[in-house]
């Protein structure tokens, strides 16, 4: 399972389609500790769901943590259809947040810039810089997309 290749996200969350801004366009603003903690918890939950999806190939496993019409969820659907996730996959890496580098406001979205460690069964950790773009829906923060920015 890979981050979405789409680095553009809707300007006002998941709708209206077609309106885009860069995921890093807005300057960082100071977030309350409560909001920051909720965002980091949502990112950790999303990574856990992602790992489960990679093992099962079932998009229901990521449905609570990712927005169903977002680019990352579309990527999960493609991977499930193509057999790139699920029981036949030999090596599903463990994913963990090593550090949160920045939490920034971008309109109604929040960008959480992280260093994520991917580790296979007999491998050293491989570090990635991933920006999780989250939108608040139904009272909870959920991931719209994930952008891979190699460190």
Instruction: Please tell me the distance from the alpha carbon of residue 49 to that of residue 77, in angstroms, as a whole number.
Output: 14
* % of the chain surpassing 90 pLDDT: 54
The pair of structure tokens assigned to 124 is 């050293």
Q: Where are the beta strands (DSSP E) in 1-151?
A: 8-10, 20-22, 94-106, 109-119, 126-137, 140-148
The pair of structure tokens assigned to 61 is 């496993």
pLDDT in the model for residue 2: 61
pLDDT at 19 over 80: no
pLDDT at 68 over 80: yes
pLDDT in the model for residue 94: 84
Tens of pLDDT along 83-139? 888 877 776 778 888 899 999 998 999 999 999 988 876 677 788 899 999 999 989
Query: Helix, strand, or coil here: 14?
Result: coil
Range in 8-12, 65-69, 70-74, 146-150 with the lowest mean pLDDT: 8-12
User: Whole-model pTM?
Assistant: 0.76
């Amino acid at each position: 399972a890979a981050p979405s290749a789409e680095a553009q996200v809707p300007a006002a969350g998941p709708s209206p389609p077609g309106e885009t801004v860069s995921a890093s366009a807005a300057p960082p603003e100071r977030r309350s500790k409560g909001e920051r903690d909720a965002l980091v918890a949502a990112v950790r939950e999303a990574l856990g769901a992602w790992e489960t999806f990679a093992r099962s190939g079932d998009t229901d496993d990521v449905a609570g943590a990712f927005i169903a019409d977002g680019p990352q969820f579309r990527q999960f659907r493609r991977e499930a259809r193509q057999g790139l996730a699920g029981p036949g996959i030999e090596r599903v890496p463990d994913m963990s947040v090593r550090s949160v580098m920045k939490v920034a406001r971008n309109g109604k979205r929040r960008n959480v810039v992280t260093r994520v460690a991917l580790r296979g069964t007999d491998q050293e950790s491989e570090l990635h810089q991933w920006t999780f773009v989250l939108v608040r829906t139904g009272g909870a923060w959920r991931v719209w997309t994930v952008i891979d920015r190699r460190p």
